[in-house]
Amino acid sequence: MTRQYWANLTLCILLGTLAIFSITRVGSILTPKGLFVSEPEPSPEAENILQDVLLAKYQITEGPNNMVEADFLIQNNSDHGVKNIIVLCEFFDENGLYMDRDIWKLAETIPAMHEVQLSSLSRRFVNTGAQALKCSITDLQLAGKPFFTLERHVAGGHGQASETGGGEQPSAGH
């Protein structure tokens, strides 16, 4: 038995061990949600206020030609305005087994301490065999101050009715 034989044997054992290790790791990575799919994690700025922004109601309906309408009622109970809300919806069959998931990005800005109904109409495929769904907010951004604000001034006396009524002019005191 030569040195070449022992080198080949050692290499085969090493490659076999590596192959067995790889197969067991890939087997644990496979999930019902797909290969290498992980749960979404919120951004660092969203972690602190995510519990204060609630998805109060949601409904997803499918129309003809794969037109999907998603309605979301968002309650912002935080002290900050939020925007670019990411909503993850997971679809389940009648036995409660996971089927599919889809993500909606809601670009509207929701002011602090407000509740807003948002609708999204888009052409996408939603699994028609799904009997139940669960949606949750997975990420958002804090809304900054606007670049400019409109100020509206009301001119005093312009367009107001006379207090004497009937279009009469007040007496001049003669």
pLDDT tens, residue by residue, 67-125? 788 899 999 999 989 999 999 988 888 888 888 888 899 989 999 999 999 888 777 77
Give residue-wise pLDDT tens across range 125-170: 777 778 888 999 999 998 877 666 777 776 665 555 555 555 555 5
* Domain residue extents for the chain: 1-30, 44-142
Question: Measured between alpha carbons, how far is 6 from 81 in angstroms, rounded to an integer?
Answer: 68
- Which numeric CATH code is attached to 44-142? 2.60.40
Query: Residue by residue, what is the 3-state secondary structure of 87-141?
Result: EEEEEECCCCCEEEEEEEEECCCECCCEEEEEEEEEECCCCCCCCEEEEEEEEEE
Rounded average pLDDT over 59-66? 80
Q: What is the pLDDT of residue 57?
A: 94
Query: What are the distances in angstroms from CA 80 to CA 42, 43, 54, 73, 155?
Result: 17, 16, 14, 18, 33
Q: Do residues 87 and 46 touch, judged by C-beta distance below 8 A? A: no
Does the pLDDT value for residue 18 go beyond 80? yes
Give me the pLDDT at residue 93, please. 85
Q: Is the pLDDT of residue 49 over 70?
A: yes
